[in-house]
A and B are shown apart, each in its own frame.
Chain A
Amino acid sequence: MHNTEVLETLLQPEELQPAVELLNKTLAELDRILLGRSELHRLVLAGILSRGHILLEGLPGVGKTALVKALGELFQLQFKRVQFTPDLMPSDILGAHILQQEADGRRGLEFHPGPVFTNLLLADEINRASPKTQSALLEAMQEHAVTLLGQTRPLPDPFFVLASQNPIELEGTYPLPEAQLDRFLFKLIVSSADVETMEQIITTRRRGEPPMTVFNVSSEQLQKMFDVMERIYLPRAVSRYIARLVAATHAAGAEATDEVRSYVSYGASPRAAIAIAEAARAMALLAGRPTVGFEDVKAVAAHVLNHRLVLNYKARFDGVDALTVIRGLLARLDETELKLPRDLEIVEAK
């Protein structure tokens, strides 16, 4: 029996600091390019650091596409945009084999990669494509690879899908199936800008065009950030909190709230727990910490879970959305799982 303990050493400040400074600069640059979206930028950056795909939902003209384009420029990543339409075919995204005659006169099928072979794919109005075309992205998003005619081709690393969808004009659209929704790390609601922001935009931006980037993140720098992300420590208590939180989204969960029991048909999957953990790590890194705290989990939980809960008809009748259910769950679930005897309670430290 060994009496010695083997412990992991946390990322030390001098190791963490360069990545944090880089991230702060990136955030500042994003904030400079797109005005009034600081929180959205943090979440998008957290999604990038988590190597997750992001679904942006918002009305036309709120800056969804501009944000993705700015990200592409900022990270000096290969960026492609696909405008999803009902007649878009899978091969329009994944690529196709085309019969070619070679120099020696022989004919063969030559693969022409589609726009998915990129680092950053903007799937604009993804819900306008047919389910067949939407499904073509499933393997690409999960496996970071494309299989055609029995041959699997890896996608460039890193690979992100940033999709956008319009919550109105639902006629002629195909809502994303649960399986595809589950592959998105975040579903971020892009709201309209406030008066001050709009005033600033029209004052400082000619025709609304964003300024050119003056700062870029190289692929090496991005890789370093990913390496740092790998070493962000997730304490066991936080892991357990994430697991309890996800379990509580199921109506049969031991800690499910009354709202969950009343309104949720299907709760979140284990993939959601993994997503929360990764996103919380990214938030901790953005905050300049080597460890994940409960507040990091709370910051990302709603964005990870809101598109993963399947609500029942009663929720629609009562006007209850997923975010309301999640907020209630976050408010009621005790992070520490400290069970005190009756009449005994903790008074928050001043």
Chain B
Amino acid sequence: MLDAPIPKREKQAMISSSPDRAIRSFMRRLTGLITLKYALSFLTLWSFGWGIAALVWRVTAGLPRWWLWVGIVGALLAVGLAVVLAQRRRPTRATVSALLDQQSHCGGLLMASGEARLGEWRDRMPEPRLPRLRWRAARAWALLAASAVFVIVSLVAPVRWASMNAGRTLDVGSEAQKLAAEIEMLKEEKLLSVSQAETLEQKLDQVKAEAEGTDPAKTWEALDHLSGALDRAAKEAAENAAAKAERLKQAEALAEGLQTGASAMSPQLTTEAMQTLAEMMKKAAEENQSLAQNLSAETQAAMKSGSFTPEQLKEMAKALKQNKAALNAQLSKLNQAGMIDGKNFKSGGQADNAGLAQFLKENANKMSVSDAVGQWCEGGKGGVDRGRGDAAMTWTDGSSEKGAKFKEQVLSPAALAGLSESQLLGLSAGAPTVGQNKTVSAGALNTAAPGGGSAYTQTILPRHKGAVKRYFDRPQGK
């Protein structure tokens, strides 16, 4: 039944009545709860997204200050979105009144209150009981807390933790340490100048800093280059040292030879030998500054005159020996550091120079004193020999594999299986010997007959015999 329009006053009374208040109160509660639920979800998503973006930004380009404002504005937008969605998900008044009607056992009166005039029934209607809303919010809160922690971590954690290259840095510590030690050693031994050493150290530091797992070849190449440079410097220094040591050795040999055998030599040869020794000493003194320090002023003066007393010869021999030992020690250090091959720079041992005077006398007319001393120190005594027993072995390039290398061939699985099933009959250390023609007793050649005993024999399978015969057949008359 349709009645007249509701007067304004009555309508106001209807709206402010208890059932209506209950409906509106429940709707507010429900909307609030839905808003909170959505807000938590959106804030959680935003926090994780913003945290990840912040982390990426920090690692790649550094976090700008306005990024914090982006976070705050985004959070506000998330809450706004939650409010909008909650409003859209909010149940209608009719639905809520139906729910309260059902829960309060109003028998349809509460539902009808929004659609019809209740009249006296408004006072008789049971008081609406608001049902409780239960929200299992533990997971939502936990996720929000986790996202908040993630945001904090993404903002304060050291960048290197999150660096995308952190896991890709190339570890060249040991190699760099080795090279640094080599540079230090070459510097100590004064085989490298200070400026050279500093340059190499700077390069090494640069290589360490730029060592990246993404391009290891570049780093290894740079390290190899540095190592090569050091090795070359070491080798050059070793060659110099070895040459100096050789010259010192010759001077030492001559000094000792004159000391012990001058009486056997002619005065002319002795004078020539002493002048040669004086020249050697001068040159050695130029090359080895410490040598001059080990010589007395008289000896140094005698070096100018080219005439030495036996004491002076003894002093010189001793000084030369000390200098030679110092050079050997330097070579030994380089060898121990693995920068040179010690075998290539072996200094001669202590030679017996007692026979040098006799050797000089015998070769006085054949060569100069210096050449004779050089030959003496090389160990040559004249004549044909196989060289010194302790001479270093030198190696040329390795043999070429061309023509000698087996051609590699990938075997099929079936062939591999065949190999695994093959039987080992025996092993021989010697080269294989060509035996007499024998019948193969296994495999496909089981029934093949042996060849005819010619120089080049070949077992032919019966089915191939016809073809071979036809090949060798010669027409009559040709």
User: A336 contacts B99, CB within 8 Å?
Assistant: yes
List chain A residues, Cβ under 8 A from B107: 284, 287, 289, 291-293, 295-296
A237-B94, A296-B107, A346-B99 in contact; A9/B117 too (CB < 8 A)?
A: yes
User: A348 contacts B103, CB within 8 Å?
Assistant: yes
A341-B89, A343-B137, A347-B132 in contact; A9/B3 too (CB < 8 A)?
A: yes
Pick from B4, B38, B108, B135: contact of A291, CB below 8 A: B108
User: B95 contacts A10, CB within 8 Å?
Assistant: no
| Stretch touching chain B among A179-187, A228-236, A270-278, A310-318 | A228-236
For A232, the closest partner residue in chain B by CB is B108
A13 within 8 A of B: yes
User: B106 contacts A8, CB within 8 Å?
Assistant: no
List chain B residues, Cβ under 8 A from A14: 120
Residue-by-residue, is A229-259 near B (CB-CB < 8 Å gives 1, otherwise 0)? 0010111111000000000000000000000
A9-B119, A343-B140, A344-B37 in contact; A289/B108 too (CB < 8 A)?
A: yes
Pick from A236, A290, A292, A347: contact of B133, CB below 8 A: A347
Main SS of chain A's interface residues?
Answer: loop
Q: Which chain A residues numbered 1 to 26 have a C-beta less than 8 Å away from chain B? A: 4-10, 12-14
User: A12 contacts B37, CB within 8 Å?
Assistant: no
A214 within 8 A of B: no
A231-B1, A237-B97, A338-B95 in contact; A349/B103 too (CB < 8 A)?
A: yes
Pick from B5, B95, B102: contact of A6, CB below 8 A: B5
List chain A residues, Cβ under 8 A from B97: 237
Q: Which chain B residues numbered 223 to 268 have a C-beta less than 8 Å away from chain A? A: none
List chain A residues, Cβ under 8 A from B117: 7-10
Task: Give the total of A residues in contact with B, Cβ under 8 Å.
Answer: 42
User: B130 contacts A349, CB within 8 Å?
Assistant: yes
* Cα–Cα, bound, A326→B120 (Å): 36
User: A293 contacts B108, CB within 8 Å?
Assistant: yes
Q: Which chain B residues numbered 88 to 111 have a C-beta less than 8 Å away from chain A? A: 89, 91, 94-99, 101-109, 111
Task: Give the total of B residues in contact with A, Cβ under 8 Å.
Answer: 50
A73 within 8 A of B: no
A301 to chain B, nearest CB (A): 15
User: B115 contacts A235, CB within 8 Å?
Assistant: yes
For B136, the closest partner residue in chain A by CB is A343
User: A237 contacts B1, CB within 8 Å?
Assistant: no
User: B108 contacts A284, CB within 8 Å?
Assistant: yes
B334 within 8 A of A: no
A294 within 8 A of B: yes
List chain B residues, Cβ under 8 A from A235: 98, 101, 108, 111-112, 115
* Cα–Cα, bound, A207→B359 (Å): 167
User: B111 contacts A238, CB within 8 Å?
Assistant: yes
* Cα–Cα, bound, A10→B120 (Å): 9
User: Could you list 29 A-B pairs, sorted by A, with CB under 8 Å?
Assistant: A4-B6, A6-B2, A6-B3, A7-B117, A9-B116, A9-B117, A10-B117, A12-B120, A13-B120, A14-B120, A233-B116, A237-B94, A237-B97, A237-B98, A287-B107, A291-B107, A291-B108, A293-B107, A293-B109, A295-B105, A295-B107, A335-B98, A336-B102, A337-B95, A338-B98, A340-B34, A345-B133, A346-B103, A347-B132
With A5-B5, A9-B1 already in contact, 18 other A-B pairs whose C-beta atoms are closer than 8 Å: A5-B6, A6-B2, A6-B3, A7-B2, A8-B116, A10-B112, A10-B119, A231-B1, A235-B115, A292-B108, A293-B101, A293-B108, A296-B108, A338-B91, A338-B98, A341-B37, A343-B136, A346-B134
